[in-house]
Structure 1
Amino acid sequence: MIYQGDSIRVDFIEDGFAELQFAAAGSVNKFDQKTLQEFSDALTALANTDGLRGVIVTSSKPTFIVGADITEFTTLFADLEQTKVWVAKASRVFDQLEDLPVPTAAAVAGFALGGGCEATLACDYRVADTTATIGLPEVKLGLIPGFGGTMRLPRIIGPDNALEWITTGKNNSAVDAQKVGLVDAVVAPEKLKDAALDIVKQAAAGELDWRAKRQPKLDPLQANDIELTMTLVTAKGMVAAKAGKHYPAPHAAIQAIEKGARHHRDEALTAENEAFVGLTQTDACAAQVGIFMADQLVKGKAKKAAKQASKEIKRAAVLGAGIMGGGIAYQSAYKGVPVVMKDIRQEALDLGMSEASKILGKLVERKKIDHKKMAKVLSAITPTLLDEAVKGVDIVVEAVVENPDVKGKVLAHMESLVDDDTIIVSNTSTISIDRLAANLKDPSRFCGMHFFNPVHKMPLVEVIRGKDTSDETVAAVVAYASRMGKTAIVVNDCPGFLVNRVLFPYLAGFSTLLDEGVDFVGIDKVMERQFGWPMGPAYLSDVVGIDTADHCTVVMADGFPTRMPRDTSSAIAKLAAAERYGQKNGKGFYNYGVDKRGRPSKEKAPEVYEMLGITGTEKSADEIIARCMVPMVNECVRCLEEGIVASAAECDMSLLYGLGFPPFRGGPFRYLETMGLQKFVELADSMADLGEMYQVTDGLREMAKAGKSYFAS
């Protein structure tokens, strides 16, 4: 044995040829601080081993290395000097691999991401099997590769390909990696280790010039000035268009590559280190790392629930076809759970099937699936007018009109038809689950399952627990949502649940600006371009449906009469009364149609200015953001304090996945903490006279005073 650590072992596998194997105790290999130290020690041992002729780098697991241990980042990045020392030391470990006096080859199976990909770049050769996925996704964490990726990748696959890989953070198949020259061979999984050993043997025997293969990674980038300049200008333009000003990481990646291009390895690596360290101190990095951690928390809870589920959902039913029902039916069938789609009108069933066909048709056009898969999914949806068709299903998803009386009757009827252990859920966006449960004899097998529209695109499902809902029911519904490819977050019952409850104060804040004569187009521009929402509040209202939003104000006013009272003179109420329902009928805050080329168009509606009395009152961008966001953040805090949502992290993920909260801000609680709790309290206090929704809770005030964090755990 040449070296034995907790996560790495090194030994000869043949005379003169050694295997450095990553074999962490957990389910995957990753570069935590301890593993990086072991990696350095193992490479030192190899460099001092007599008779060494070649080395292959392998994994004992189905996947190679998933990257750095992101759970350590929060602590590591808290101190700037500590971060500088860590990244400089860690990145030089990969130089040790590259500097071994013998040929090296990585044997890549499964994921080789981030630091895992960078470990392969430090090898002379890379052999991948057909399961391999390779990439540098650091920009998705607000970072750039920190172990030599910006320096080595351009020298291996060229600066144009490298810039695309690094600035987009996309994952690549083994075949695609081979096409650009990163991977030297792609083989079947059972041949991977032998293929890597074979290529090292050829190099050791002089049949392959491994020193010539290594040298470009040690030298300045081999590209002429004109070629490099054009590549960098193109990359800067693409990043500016796609990432914009809110995401500094892809911009920093370009700068690091540009700065290091004309230098040898050590100087180029120093440029990368400097850029990496700078990014660790940005709000975007803190937010995006926070998203990763929150996502892991949510996924971990979903996996735990799935293991606890005593009932497996093998066959489902959806009540109420149309666009929403059709979307739910499609998603279930597409993910392998056959579904009965029940309605009382044939036209609705036709619409539901048309919706499923339209989604599948687009996938065929984009070559994501073939016609055989499309036919298979459609055949797994059974449209029916017959009540008897729902018998024998494991779950019934009610998706009829958003009216508590109608829903109550439908739910009670379904309970009389299905088996005693069939789970019944309601896809309601605002109506209390406990109120609906009153219509059932056995409310323990009932809960909410709130999908977001369009179902096939929106990743979130709110699973709403009523006071009588059993743990078994919640676990089974979370497992079903996960099987449907959705992120399920469990919340407790209240009007609007979590996402819609906190959305309404946001829209109410927007409405107060309209009352003062502020132009809705200007508000949308500020909230989209400066705050980062995918849609401003006026446009969002049109997309959701003005009539839907107006109807929901009744429900919210019943639940929170002092904080969210119904205002019949509000902009939403006036537009709904004028039958300006938004995109669904082509007129809302904006008028919708098609342009001369047949593309969808959106133009501000002049008639709305007169209807709402908009005079063009000027407000600063900061005031517009504060007027909209303070009520939303306050309501999020109330939901956490009331136990509607279990953690700040889950609240953040709910708004990211359910509303498109700007990822570079990390979610409402991360936004609150980035601003600083005390500064937020002072800002809210300055607007407290605008109403209850601007007034912070005592709990938040105490947290701010004590200097505590919502992410302390």
Structure 2
Amino acid sequence: MLYEGKSLTVSLLDDGFAELVFDAAGSVNKFDRQTVSELDEATSALHAQGGVKGLLVRSNKPAFIVGADITEFTDLFSQPENEVLDWVAQTSQVFDRFEDLPFPTIAAITGFALGGGCEMALACDLRVADTTAAIGLPEVKLGLMPGFGGTVRLPRLIGADNALEWMTTGKERKAQQALNEGAIDAVVAPEKLRDAALSMLKQAAGQKIDWQTRRSDKKAPLKLNKNEAMMSFSTAQAMVAAKAGKHYPAPHMMVETVKNAAGLERDGALKLENQGFVTLAKTDAAKAQIGIFMADQLVKGKGKKMAKAASKTIQNNAVLGAGIMGGGIAYQSAVRGLPVVMKDINTAALDLGLKEAAKILGKGMERGKIDARTMATALNAITPTLEYSALKNADMVIEAVVENPKVKGMVLKETEQAVADDAIICSNTSTISINQLAENLDKPERFCGMHFFNPVHRMPLVEIIRGEKTSEDTINAVVATTLKMGKTPIVVNDCPGFLVNRVLFPYFAGFSKLLLDGADFVAVDKVMEKVFGWPMGPAYLMDVVGIDTGDHAADVMAAGIPERMSRLENDPITLFYNDKRLGQKNAKGFYNYGTDKRGKPTKVAAEEAYALLAPVTAEPRNFEADEIIARLMVPMANEAIRCLEEGIVDSAAEADMALLYGLGFPPFRGGIFRWIETLGLANFVALADKYAGLGPIYQISDGVRQMADDGKSYFA
């Protein structure tokens, strides 16, 4: 053994070749500080060892290296800028020293080689992958750019255009595509990987492969003339501007870095990369996106743990109510291999539910995501019925009928009489108390909320709502089934609106009050979309949700939390509802909806909406963007804080993920609690106090005021 560390070893093989094997103590290989240090020590040992003809680099795990250890980033990036720069420079120089070994090197890639793992492979002279490999530089998803030489080596290997597409999108490549683009040199079956890599290494050592020229090309300036460079980088800049916009600095920084480094050799180019990495590490976007990654890991970990604890396995599903939502839930169950009975009270509704499932599957086929066989299998897994008797073999039933407590209560009672004694019953209610609905059941311990978001096939979140009498076995089984259906479960406790809608309706209330004070809904939408970063502004979102749905839900919230959410006088939402302006569902709301001559959807601010608002609103006036944002976001933040303080949600991280997955909260802001922390708790308190006179939804809790005074964090 030439070198032995905790994460990697180097041994000498026959015929003068050596093998470096990554095999960390955990389930995957990661580049944490220890592994980087060991790589440097191993490289020094290889430099000192005479007579080595070549080095094979591989993994003893199903994946090569999954990337850097992101758990180290939060503390690291909080250090002064010069210390972060020292760290990334020293780390990238470890890869440089490895690249400069006086003999050929080859990476044998299996499974994931992402981020630092991809950069390790790029530092080798040759790369061979097996058919399971997936290779890429996904740092952009963390608000960062490659920091261990990726922006230098990849463009010189596959060209600047291809490399920038890899890095600015963060999309990984399967082995064959990576081969086609020149990132790897061969693809083989998994059982042949090591032998194929050794064979190629021996060819390089025997001068049958010119590894020296390959290496010198990676260390030289990019081979682009002035016109080629101008075309390449201007095209990349335009694409990034169109796709990423102004809120995500990382892809812009990558283009600038590769552009400015194009005429430089490796060492100069790496200095630019180091500086770009540090600049991004200090941005709010990086903090937010790294926070999302960490929160997502927490949510996934909790979900897997609960699913593992489930004592009941759901093998047959059922959905009550075959509308758009019911059809979407049935689709999601069937396409994930979970047979589902879809029940309604009339054939027309069943036809609508089946049509919805078929429509989603059809779009999947158009986009090449599923094939005809998958579509047929999924549709055959949905059994429509008008009879309760068809539910007798269901392990779990999801009620998705109209959002009315009396109707739901009646349906749940009838369902309990039709299903097996141990069948789980869920309600897809979006606002109605689970404890209230449980009163209709003889066995409330097997009942919980299972709130899907529309459109079901696209929205990742499912809120699992625990009632006072819901058993943990029930929650665990529903979490397991949610995961099986391809969704992200977040468990919350019962209250009006649960978590997502409870924090959404103060936001809508802030919007309504802003309109009554003379704001233009188009201007508000523009600020919340273009400046704050929501996918839809509040007027557009209300049209999409449905103004009738919004008005009904606002009544539920007002009844449940009257001290803060009582209805506004002359609420624009009620005015529109009474005028039968229901939003997209009848093509008229704040906006009028239609199609142009080419059949493309249109959305135009409705003169009728302005006419309805005119008699009840103040004189029109312009509001600054900061005031619009504060008047909408402070109520949402306040209610999220109260949900955390009351134990409705277990952690700030879970609340952030719920809003990200359920509402499309801007990822570059990281979630509602990350937004509060980015402002600073003291600044948030001052902002809320500034608008406290507008009403209870702007008035903060004593808890957050104390946290601000004590200098505490929601993510400590």
TM-score, length of structure 2 as denominator length: 0.99
- Mapped contact 1:134–1:172 kept (Cα < 8 A): yes
Q: Which residue in 1 is equivalent to 2:283?
A: 282
CA offsets 1:150-188 (integer angstroms, 9 cap, x no match): 000000000000010011111111111011100100111
Q: Which residue in 2 is equivalent to 1:594?
A: 595
Q: Which residue in 1 is equivalent to 2:33?
A: 33
Q: Which residue in 2 is equivalent to 1:53?
A: 53
Structure 1 SS opposite 2:563? coil
User: Structure 1 residue 681: deviation in Å?
Assistant: 0.5
- Mapped contact 1:117–1:134 kept (Cα < 8 A): yes
Structure 2 SS opposite 1:145? coil
Whole-angstrom CA distance in 1 between matches of 2:138 and 2:556: 43
Written as runs of structure 1 = structure 2, the 5 A alignment for 1:231-310 is 231-310=232-311
1:640 aligns with 2:641: no
Q: Which residue in 2 is equivalent to 1:698?
A: 702
CA offsets 1:361-396 (integer angstroms, 9 cap, x no match): 111111211111110111111111121111111100
Whole-angstrom CA distance in 2 between matches of 1:558 and 1:111: 51
Q: Which residue in 1 is equivalent to 2:490?
A: 489
Q: Which residue in 2 is equivalent to 1:448?
A: 449
CA offsets 1:44-99 (integer angstroms, 9 cap, x no match): 11111122111111011001101000000001001122211110011111112211
User: Structure 1 residue 423: deviation in Å?
Assistant: 0.5
CA offsets 1:587-612 (integer angstroms, 9 cap, x no match): 00000000111101000001111111
Q: Which residue in 2 is equivalent to 1:351?
A: 352
Matching residue's letter, 2:74: T
Structure 1 SS opposite 2:127? strand
Whole-angstrom CA distance in 2 between matches of 1:609 and 1:417: 51
Written as runs of structure 1 = structure 2, the 5 A alignment for 1:167-566 is 167-566=168-567
Whole-angstrom CA distance in 2 between matches of 1:17 and 1:479: 48
Whole-angstrom CA distance in 2 between matches of 1:237 and 1:29: 36
User: Structure 1 residue 13: deviation in Å?
Assistant: 3.0
Q: Which residue in 1 is equivalent to 2:107?
A: 106
Residue range with higher mean Cα deviation, 586-595 or 616-625: 616-625
User: Structure 1 residue 616: deviation in Å?
Assistant: 2.9
Structure 2 SS opposite 1:618? coil
Residue range with higher mean Cα deviation, 361-370 or 423-432: 361-370
Whole-angstrom CA distance in 2 between matches of 1:429 and 1:463: 11
Whole-angstrom CA distance in 1 between matches of 2:558 and 2:335: 38
Whole-angstrom CA distance in 2 between matches of 1:296 and 1:375: 34
User: Structure 1 residue 431: deviation in Å?
Assistant: 0.3
Whole-angstrom CA distance in 2 between matches of 1:267 and 1:196: 31
Q: Which of 668, 692, 704 lines up with 1:664 in the alignment?
A: 668
Q: Which residue in 1 is equivalent to 2:629?
A: 625
Whole-angstrom CA distance in 1 between matches of 2:39 and 2:337: 42
Structure 1 SS opposite 2:654? helix
Written as runs of structure 1 = structure 2, the 5 A alignment for 1:38-187 is 38-79=38-79, 80-187=81-188
- Mapped contact 1:567–1:573 kept (Cα < 8 A): no
Whole-angstrom CA distance in 1 between matches of 2:472 and 2:664: 29
Structure 1 SS opposite 2:241? helix
- Mapped contact 1:139–1:250 kept (Cα < 8 A): yes
Whole-angstrom CA distance in 2 between matches of 1:616 and 1:106: 65
Structure 2 SS opposite 1:661? coil
- Deviating above 3 A after TM superposition, structure 1's stretches of 4 or more consecutive aligned residues are none
User: Structure 1 residue 258: deviation in Å?
Assistant: 1.0
Whole-angstrom CA distance in 2 between matches of 1:320 and 1:440: 19
Structure 1 SS opposite 2:21? strand
Q: Which residue in 1 is equivalent to 2:693?
A: 689
Whole-angstrom CA distance in 2 between matches of 1:687 and 1:631: 10
Matching residue's letter, 2:649: V
Whole-angstrom CA distance in 2 between matches of 1:589 and 1:626: 22
Q: Which residue in 2 is equivalent to 1:654?
A: 658
Give percent identity, aligned residues only: 64
Whole-angstrom CA distance in 2 between matches of 1:314 and 1:60: 36
Q: Which residue in 1 is equivalent to 2:584?
A: 583
Q: Show structure 1 runs of 5+ residues with no match.
A: none
Structure 1 SS opposite 2:462? strand
Matching residue's letter, 1:689: G
CA offsets 1:118-146 (integer angstroms, 9 cap, x no match): 00000011101111111100011010000
Matching residue's letter, 1:226: N
Structure 1 SS opposite 2:129? strand
Residue range with higher mean Cα deviation, 584-593 or 557-566: 557-566
User: Structure 1 residue 428: deviation in Å?
Assistant: 0.5
Whole-angstrom CA distance in 1 between matches of 2:244 and 2:652: 26
User: Structure 1 residue 222: deviation in Å?
Assistant: 1.0
Number of residue pairs the alignment of both structures matches: 712
1:679 aligns with 2:679: no
Matching residue's letter, 1:162: A
- Mapped contact 1:318–1:397 kept (Cα < 8 A): yes
Q: CA RMSD in A?
A: 0.8
Whole-angstrom CA distance in 2 between matches of 1:325 and 1:452: 11
Whole-angstrom CA distance in 2 between matches of 1:495 and 1:709: 27
CA offsets 1:468-512 (integer angstroms, 9 cap, x no match): 111111111011111111110000000000000000000000001
CA offsets 1:295-328 (integer angstroms, 9 cap, x no match): 0000000010111011111110000011100000
Whole-angstrom CA distance in 2 between matches of 1:206 and 1:676: 60
Matching residue's letter, 1:640: L
- Mapped contact 1:568–1:574 kept (Cα < 8 A): no
Structure 2 SS opposite 1:95? helix
Whole-angstrom CA distance in 2 between matches of 1:148 and 1:498: 43
Matching residue's letter, 1:424: I
Matching residue's letter, 1:87: V
Structure 2 SS opposite 1:317? strand
Whole-angstrom CA distance in 1 between matches of 2:613 and 2:540: 16
CA offsets 1:402-431 (integer angstroms, 9 cap, x no match): 001110111111111111111100000000
Structure 1 SS opposite 2:568? coil
Q: Show structure 2 runs of 5+ residues with no match.
A: none
CA offsets 1:551-599 (integer angstroms, 9 cap, x no match): 0111101111120002352000000000000000000000000011110
Structure 2 SS opposite 1:563? helix
CA offsets 1:87-112 (integer angstroms, 9 cap, x no match): 00111111122111111111111110
Whole-angstrom CA distance in 2 between matches of 1:628 and 1:453: 22
Whole-angstrom CA distance in 2 between matches of 1:389 and 1:551: 32
CA offsets 1:320-342 (integer angstroms, 9 cap, x no match): 01110000000011111110011
Matching residue's letter, 1:73: F
Whole-angstrom CA distance in 1 between matches of 2:362 and 2:333: 17
Structure 2 SS opposite 1:602? strand
TM-score, length of structure 1 as denominator length: 0.99
- Mapped contact 1:426–1:447 kept (Cα < 8 A): yes
